[in-house]
């Protein structure tokens, strides 16, 4: 049995797969197309990504790909812990510019489903955190866009102590007010 819960952003789900454990460790089915379709996730995932962030306080994002290569993502943490964030960037949405964030960890096994039309980012809460995520389209750098991770208009409450560790691209990303979003709320 798998549990899913709606978040404050329509379409974004927090998912808790069952784990079966004993003295050796545990087993979890982290994705089944049939089971996830029953949850309303009908994406054709075509690419898996695996990222390691060595330092606590590393922030990656906020990123998205625009049409025609927009991506839905199914994110989990394979080692360590992250604070995973989705931001609604669909024009006309009642939740445009709003965000949700959840702790995903190797210990809790939780996943976050983020549909196309949302920017995504995360901050590491432990050293050597590994993030594993499925994407519904292939990486297309010509469609990739970044938003400023600490844009005060979005107001994400990142659990980062001290200065965030950022890529050069993320440190100079534009703010939401400068975004001409290619996504529209479809009701």
Render each residue's pLDDT in the chain as its tens digit; 187 residues. 788 999 999 999 999 999 898 999 889 889 999 999 999 999 999 999 999 999 999 999 999 999 999 999 999 999 999 999 999 999 999 999 999 999 999 999 999 999 999 999 999 999 999 999 999 999 999 999 999 999 999 999 999 999 999 999 999 999 999 999 999 998 7
- φ, ψ of residue 116 in degrees (nearest 5): -60, 150
Give the number of other CB atoms < 10 A from CB of residue 20: 9
* Distant-in-sequence, close-in-space partners of 186: CB < 8 Å, separation ≥ 6: 90
Assign domain 3-184 one CATH number from 2.60.40.1220, 2.40.30.170, 2.60.120.10, 1.10.260.40: 2.60.120.10
- The sign of the CA dihedral 126, 130, 134, 138 is positive
Q: Which residue has the tokens 């197309």?
A: 33
Annotated domain spans of the chain:
3-184
B/e letters for 119-129, b = 16+ CB within 10 Å, e = fewer, are bbbbbbbbeeb
pTM > 0.85: yes or no: yes
Give catalytic residue positions.
63, 133
Q: What is the model's pLDDT at position 129?
A: 98
């Amino acid at each position: 049995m798998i549990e899913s819960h709606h978040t404050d952003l329509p379409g974004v789900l927090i998912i808790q797969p069952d784990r079966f454990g004993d003295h050796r460790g545990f087993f979890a089915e982290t994705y089944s197309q049939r089971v996830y379709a029953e949850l309303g996730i009908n994406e054709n995932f075509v690419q898996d990504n695996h990222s390691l962030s060595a330092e606590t306080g590393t922030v990656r994002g906020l990123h998205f790909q625009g049409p025609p290569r927009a991506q839905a993502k199914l994110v989990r943490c394979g080692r360590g812990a992250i604070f995973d964030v989705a931001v609604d960037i669909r024009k006309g949405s009642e939740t445009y510019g709003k965000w949700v964030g959840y702790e995903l960890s190797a210990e809790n096994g939780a996943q976050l489903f983020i549909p196309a039309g949302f920017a995504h980012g995360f901050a590491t809460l432990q050293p050597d955190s590994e993030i594993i995520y499925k994407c519904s389209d292939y990486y297309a750098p010509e469609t990739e866009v970044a938003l400023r991770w600490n844009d005060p208009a979005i107001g994400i409450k990142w659990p980062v102590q001290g200065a965030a560790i950022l890529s050069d691209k993320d440190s100079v990303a534009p703010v939401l007010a400068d975004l001409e979003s290619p996504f529209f709320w479809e009701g």
